[in-house]
Amino acid sequence: MGHLVLLVLDDMAVLPALLEAWQSVGVPGVTILQSAGAYRTQKWLRRMGLGALDRLFELEETSRRTLLAAIEDEAVLDRAIAEAERLVGGFDRPGSGLLVVLPALRVLGLHKALPIEAEIRPHKAAHVGWLAWRKKSAAEIAKLLDLQPVIVRRETTLGQIPQALAAQPGVQVVCVTSEDDVLVGLLPLTDLADALLFHEMPEEFLSEVTDLEGVIEFAERSRVRTAGDVMKPPVCVRRDDPGELVFRRIHQHQLPGLPVVDDTYHVVGYISLLALLLTICGLPHPL
C-alpha cells in the first residue's frame, strides 16, 4: 500500500533544504500548493479588512505552502518523515507546521522512465587537476584546514556565541544543535552580527522599513535573543559526499562554509569556502 504525505509548512526558509533532503532519501516527487491557515487568516482579516484579501498569498504573515508526496516504500517514508521533523526542529515547536500521512489504496504514474540525457563532458581547456576535486569526499576537504566546528544549542544566547567563534577564527558558520546533539540549524556570522547590532543601532535597520511587512519583521527582530530565534535551515553534507555536492550547497545557500555530519546528523567537521577553493585549485595548506 502506498502513502500520501501531506505537509503544511509554516517556515518558507525550510522549503529548499526540505526538497533537497526528500530528493536525497528517494521521495519520487513533490507537489507544492499555496495555502493559508484559516484561523490565522481570520485574525489577519479582522486587522486589515476584506480589502486586503487579494494580498492573502503574498504576505509571509499568512502565506504557507502545502506539500503533497506519494510514497510506496516504507523505508523512504520513515526517512522522509525524519528529515522533515529534523529540518523544522520538531513538529511540537510553535510555527513548525503539520505533517499527516494518509493511506493511498492505488497510486498510478508514480514511477516513469527517465529520458536519456547526453553526457556532459568538461571543456577541453579545463585543467585536468581541477576536475579531480569533484570526487573528493567532504571528509578529505574538511581535513585540509582541519577546522573544528563551533557548536551551540538552540537556547544559547546570542551574546555568548562570539566568544565561541573567537576560538576558531576560520569558522564563519555556527552549528545549532538540539539536546540530542542533532544538527537543527545554522547561524552565519553575518546573521549573528545583524542580530546583535540590531539592539545597538536599531536606527540603521529602521531605515529599511518601507511597508507593513517591514514593520512586522522589525518587531520580530526586536524579540530575537537566542541562536534558535535566528538560525537558518541545517544545510550540511555527509563525510562521504563528493566535492561537487559541497560546492552546490555552499553556492545555493550563499554560505561561507558548512558542517559535515555523520549518518545520525551529529556534527563531525566543518568545511570553509577557503578549504573548498584550495581543493579545487589542487593547492596544499598555505601555512
Q: What pLDDT score was predicted for residue 94?
A: 81
Per-residue pLDDT of the chain (287 residues; tens, 9 = 90+): 789 999 988 887 888 888 988 888 888 889 988 776 665 656 655 665 655 455 555 555 556 788 999 998 888 899 899 889 888 888 888 878 889 999 988 888 776 665 655 555 655 545 555 567 788 999 999 999 999 999 999 999 999 999 999 999 999 999 999 888 999 899 999 999 888 887 766 666 556 656 656 556 655 666 788 998 888 888 999 999 999 999 999 999 999 999 999 988 899 999 999 999 988 887 665 54
Cα–Cα distances in angstroms (integers) from residue 95 to residues 11, 83, 260, in the given order: 7, 17, 27
Amino acid, single-letter form, for residue 248: R
How many CA atoms lie less than 13 Å away from 127 in the CB half-sphere? 6
Query: Counting runs of H as helices and runs of E as strands, what totals does the chain give?
Result: 11, 10
Q: What pLDDT score was predicted for residue 132?
A: 75
**Measured distance CA(133)–CA(281) in Å, rounded:** 8
Q: What pLDDT score was predicted for residue 11?
A: 81
Taken in order of first residue, the domains within the chain and their CATH numbers are 2-104 (3.30.70.120), 129-188+231-280 (3.10.580.10)
**Measured distance CA(158)–CA(207) in Å, rounded:** 23
For strands 173-177 and 97-104, give the pairing.
unpaired
- Phi, psi at 227, each rounded to 5°: -60, -40
Q: What pLDDT score was predicted for residue 187?
A: 94
**30 in Cβ contact with 67 (< 8 Å):** yes
* Cell reading at 181: 546533539
Q: What pLDDT score was predicted for residue 281?
A: 82
Side by side, the strands of the sheet bearing 183-188 are 151-153, 173-177, 183-188
Q: What pLDDT score was predicted for residue 10?
A: 81
Task: Kindly tell me the burial class for residue 217, based on how many C-beta atoms sit within 10 Å of its own C-beta (0-12, 13-18, 19 or more).
Answer: middle
DSSP 32-84: EEEEE-HHHHHHHHHHH-GGGGGGTTTSTTTEEEEEEEEE--HHHHHHHHHHH
Q: Quick one: which of 29, 62, 10 has its CA closest to 212?
A: 62
For the full predicted model, state whether its pTM sits above 0.85: no
